[in-house]
């Protein structure tokens, strides 16, 4: 991997981390398109640069995260299923799931179809949660179970948590906001686990690539978050569902 490839991946990560299109899936497909070797470092790179995007959430929502501590138990409950599954299945996730473009493509298609179906059936009701305060502990756990599906690359952590939030009775914008906040403990834990498992054994050139990816994803994600928040006020997620399906089909023909 060179600097250009690292910067390209960081831009892709920043743009897609908080959209329901699977940033991990995009990174895997991008490494394939850029002919980047499938090494342990590249897999670690794809995980670690997501922390840069997560810091963008902290930059935008720092007041909510640090001053509204009543949200912390809900975020912990939602984080727990993914933490348990991710820790238990770490070798399988990294060695098998992250190495198969076909798994990623299949997940993109299935997730896209489900996203469209949910949007067509979803109707906001008066009793739906209109703020994070109205999300119950039970709803948080269910959202967390949906998030755990995102250990499969291509599913999309954002898509699974947003869909989960909408299905348990949250308004669309509340589901999105909860998804943003839940990304913080989830991705910090994922990055920390990868650093522990790899023992952070990176040479100087790899550290430079990680720094480029980290910083690039932070600034791109910062712009993407603010743009997405404005966009969801007047739009559904159906275009993202269509995009996922079209992207998967195009890549399928490229791969075969």
Q: What are phi and psi of 170, to 5 degrees?
A: -110, 145
pLDDT of residue 200: 64
Q: Which position has the token pair 């981390």?
A: 17
% the chain with pLDDT above 90: 34
In this predicted model, which residue has the larger pLDDT, 232 or 211?
Answer: 211
pLDDT of residue 202: 81
Q: Which whole number is the average pLDDT over 211-227? A: 91
**What's the mean pLDDT when you consider all of the chain?**
87
What does the block give as tokens for 27? 């990174």
Coil, strand or helix at 170: strand
Q: For 102-156, how does the pLDDT look when each residue is reduced to its tens digit (9 = 90+)?
A: 888 889 999 999 999 988 988 878 788 888 889 999 999 999 999 999 888 888 8
Q: What band does 12 get if pLDDT is binned at 50, 70 and 90?
A: very high
**Segment among 46-55, 79-88, 129-138, 191-200 with least mean pLDDT:** 191-200
pLDDT of residue 199: 67
CA pair distance 194, 198, nearest whole angstrom? 6
Contact 157, 167 (CB under 8 A): no
pLDDT of residue 255: 62
36: region left, alpha or beta (phi > 0 left; psi from -120 to 50 alpha): beta
């Amino acid at each position: 991997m060179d600097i250009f490839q690292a910067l390209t991946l960081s831009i892709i990560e920043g743009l897609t981390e908080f959209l329901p299109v699977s940033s991990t899936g995009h990174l895997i497909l991008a490494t394939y398109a850029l002919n980047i070797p499938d090494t342990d470092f590249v897999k670690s790179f794809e995980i670690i640069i997501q922390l840069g995007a997560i810091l963008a959430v902290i930059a935008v929502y720092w007041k909510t995260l640090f001053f509204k501590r009543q949200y912390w138990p809900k975020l912990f409950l939602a984080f727990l299923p993914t933490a348990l599954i991710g820790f238990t299945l770490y070798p399988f996730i990294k060695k098998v799931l992250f190495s198969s473009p076909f798994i990623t493509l299949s997940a993109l298609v299935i997730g896209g179809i489900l996203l469209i179906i949910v949007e067509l059936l979803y109707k906001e009701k008066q009793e739906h949660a209109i703020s994070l305060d109205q999300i119950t502990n039970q709803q948080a756990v269910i959202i967390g179970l949906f998030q755990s599906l995102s250990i499969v690359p291509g599913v999309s952590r954002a898509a699974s948590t947003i869909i989960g939030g909408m299905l348990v009775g949250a308004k669309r914008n509340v589901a999105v906001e909860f998804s943003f906040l839940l990304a913080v403990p989830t991705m910090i834990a994922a990055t920390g686990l990868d650093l522990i498992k790899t023992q952070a054994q990176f040479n100087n050139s790899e550290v430079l690539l990680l720094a480029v990816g980290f910083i690039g994803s932070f600034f791109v994600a910062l712009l993407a978050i603010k743009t997405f928040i404005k966009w969801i006020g007047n739009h559904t997620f159906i275009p993202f569902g269509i995009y996922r399906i079209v992207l998967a089909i195009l890549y399928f023909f490229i791969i075969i």
